[in-house]
Chains A and B, each alone.
Chain A
């Protein structure tokens, strides 16, 4: 880990980890303290697509941007994969990620070259990618090799494949943040003008953030298609806002510059476990969106109050 424990605390992931653990314990208590290998596997399977797209969103939010198109990028990548598995598994993966990379490059160009505000640029491309997904795959379908689904959803009892993939994705994202590119992403979110004046190639860095984000969303879409054994042109839509919520829950500053990949992963885990709790509490899944919103406000509100108090305290100290 490049940051170490104090670094994680500074970057606001502690809150997300604590929230997840608290909800996890409640979940455990509701089921009488029983947690099986099967539970672990389903949890990881459920969280992986959201964690991947949240990690993608993390890179964009880090630069004080936002990417509303990542959900539809998942749909496109999943559809492309489902339609091309007949060639080869590897070919389908490459084509899906290729489509995602092109989508990310479009976003990057709009933001960096045309200087559109990220929220507008990606609002437009969100709609475009939704359209693309529907054009290439009007209704859910496609062909996913059953062996692949089995391999990517099962694995060893206490080390199911989705858990390994989750750890791998988190490790890669964390590694990116430990390189100069990661430092520059954080710097841009902190002060874009100052970063440019310091001689950092700001435009290239921001462009890469959108491409990396789309690639991670593409992976999420690919996994979703494999796990559900089919492609669906609208499957990514629910991830548009969830990916942002996960990042914010993970303690990442929505104005960029501060946050950790660990936080983004735990944000995704928190949202996933809320869904499980509702399921076991026998509440209709219609409540999920409502509860997600309330928890988001509670967590972000707490963080804001805490920051406000810290600021007051600093001001008090400086006045003396």
Chain B
């Protein structure tokens, strides 16, 4: 039996897992469900001995396990399969399958013939059509995921942890995994299974644990929980008054896109009116990032047309997009958006250097100071002085600096890429108010968010994306958090229809 008692885990100010106690037994697959950031993956990594909990006890058949690291966890029979593959893409399938202990000859050299023969036999025994000598990086994602799963189960684990292991699989491949999990379950393996797709939870699992904001809200038999009930439990009752009142958009068209296609996007059409907030939802990594970046000239398109105010606007680079008053606020502000060692002032004026440059490229420092002081005031950015380094600000204030930086370019179209992720609720409320105000002033805003409630609270319309396509559009009474979650996870609108 795998037992977790009173587990707590914080990452900085974020409480990832809060006082979770649960047990998983052989013979019953335990499903873990919850929204993005609910703490499922962290809990699974703690259960697998890979992440060390701050408080609480993890034990497997009575032995304590904590922060073992991958090698020791595997040695204890605890094996994980994550959504992000851990196969080495530059190696062959065979090399990956036996990476930690390849067969050797007396000379200590790897016995390559035996390696390939063993790999082929292993792949055949699990009905995987991949070639043992293929380079992993050249294979389709689904096959890579299958190889990773085969590598996990071949170790005959005592505990098998599957974290969104089905995310890259086609419907037929999910059936394949189903048979493997069933076999492992009968063998007496303890199995934890994370998925965003409810129908997978009902077919793979006997028990289900629902998490919200790091807490375990329900632990029950799968048969006793309906999809509706699970969605309710996952989303919970929210605080009122966080979102500003919605005003109807001004109406006239601002941006149009037709047939956007790239290595990620599979033909996306959309339109945006002045003053409209268009929400983009769906599971993580379904092409939302690429969609926003493509509108900003930062994602190469194979085909498609974009118009801003009826003029062609398929930009080759962000510089062209900025010139046409399109602004993009990225998600990973530490990577894409801000120079952390530089001052607030320098960061704010970075995108408008051309406007405040005078003869021969000298910067008009007086104009810069005025604009920066205005901006800090308007957004209520909490700083000691404009010369303070951005890296010293809190996450929420960093995000406000980033937002303001782009507002200074006076955009007509504002693209927001999950900008409130990891931001506390107080700052979120302020950002929401700013976004609503900007829309009211006639700006068109496209808002991608992993938080369904944020989309419902702010957007006039929400499109839900799956695998690079728009799989649903919600507006009016249909626009609810449950509706968005269902559209992104249910089989009818989701993958099964497409494959």
Contacts and interface: CB of A to CB of B under 8 A. Distances in A.
A187 B109 contact: no
B180 interface: no
A178 B101 CA distance: 13
A122 B99 CA distance: 29
30 contacts: A2-B110, A175-B107, A178-B109, A178-B110, A179-B104, A179-B109, A179-B110, A180-B104, A182-B110, A183-B91, A183-B95, A183-B102, A183-B110, A187-B91, A187-B99, A190-B91, A191-B86, A191-B89, A191-B90, A194-B88, A196-B71, A197-B70, A197-B86, A198-B87, A198-B99, A198-B100, A198-B151, A199-B71, A199-B99, A258-B90
Contacts of A258: 90
B71 A180 contact: no
Contacts of B100: 198-200
Contacts of B96: 198
A195 B88 contact: yes
Contacts of A199: 70-71, 74-75, 99-100
B88 A175 contact: no
Contacts of B104: 179-180
A186 B70 contact: no
A201 interface: yes
A206 to B, nearest CB: 14
Interface in B343-383: none
Main SS of the interface on chain A? helix
A182 to B, nearest CB: 8
Among B88, B91, B107, B138, max chain A CB count under 10 A is at B88
Nearest to A201: B71
Contacts of B112: 2
Contacts of B245: none
B497 interface: no
B85 interface: yes
B109 A2 contact: yes
Given A198-B100, A200-B100, A315-B263, A187 B110 contact: no
Main SS of the interface on chain B? loop
Interface string A182-218: 1110110111011111111100000000000000000
A305 interface: no
A257 interface: yes
Contacts of A191: 86-90
A194 B86 contact: yes
Nearest to B115: A183
Nearest to B104: A180
Interface string A243-277: 00000000000000110000000000000000000
Nearest to B69: A196
A198 B70 contact: yes
| Size class of the A contact interface (CB-based, 8 Å) | 20 to 34
Interface string A161-193: 000000000000001001110111011011101
Closest A-B pairs by Cβ, 4 of them? A190-B90, A197-B86, A199-B100, A178-B109
A319 interface: yes
Interface string A73-109: 0000000000000000000000000000000000000
A243 B87 CA distance: 31
Contacts of A314: 138
Nearest to B85: A194
Interface string B72-85: 00110000101001
Interface string B91-128: 10001100111101001111010000000000000000
A191 B95 CA distance: 13
Given A194-B89, A198-B96, 16 more contacts: A179-B108, A179-B109, A180-B102, A180-B108, A182-B110, A183-B95, A183-B99, A183-B110, A186-B91, A190-B88, A197-B86, A198-B88, A198-B99, A199-B74, A199-B75, A199-B100
A258 to B, nearest CB: 6
A159 B64 CA distance: 62
A183 B91 CA distance: 9
Interface string B124-151: 0000000000000010000000000001
A178 B112 CA distance: 9
Contacts of A196: 70-71
B5 interface: no
A46 to B, nearest CB: 31
A182 B263 CA distance: 34
Contacts of A319: 302
Nearest to A190: B90
A180 B110 contact: yes
A282 B210 CA distance: 80
B146 to A, nearest CB: 16
A279 B136 CA distance: 47
Nearest to A314: B138
Contacts of A194: 85-89
A186 B86 contact: no
A194 B100 CA distance: 11
A191 B99 CA distance: 12
Nearest to A202: B71
Nearest to A194: B86
A220 to B, nearest CB: 24
Contacts of A197: 70, 80, 82, 86
A257 B90 contact: yes
A190 B99 CA distance: 13
A112 to B, nearest CB: 14
Contacts of B110: 2, 178-180, 182-183
Contacts of B89: 190-191, 194
A180 B86 CA distance: 18
A307 to B, nearest CB: 13
A314 to B, nearest CB: 8
A184 B100 CA distance: 8
Nearest to B50: A197
A195 B99 CA distance: 8
Interface string A123-135: 0000000000000
B474 to A, nearest CB: 31
Contacts of A315: 263
B65 to A, nearest CB: 15
Contacts of A175: 107-109
A184 B99 CA distance: 7
Contacts of B102: 180, 183
A174 B293 CA distance: 45
Nearest to A192: B88
B45 to A, nearest CB: 11
A240 B82 CA distance: 41
Nearest to B108: A179
B113 to A, nearest CB: 11
A196 B102 CA distance: 15
Contacts of B108: 175, 179-180
A201 B90 CA distance: 19
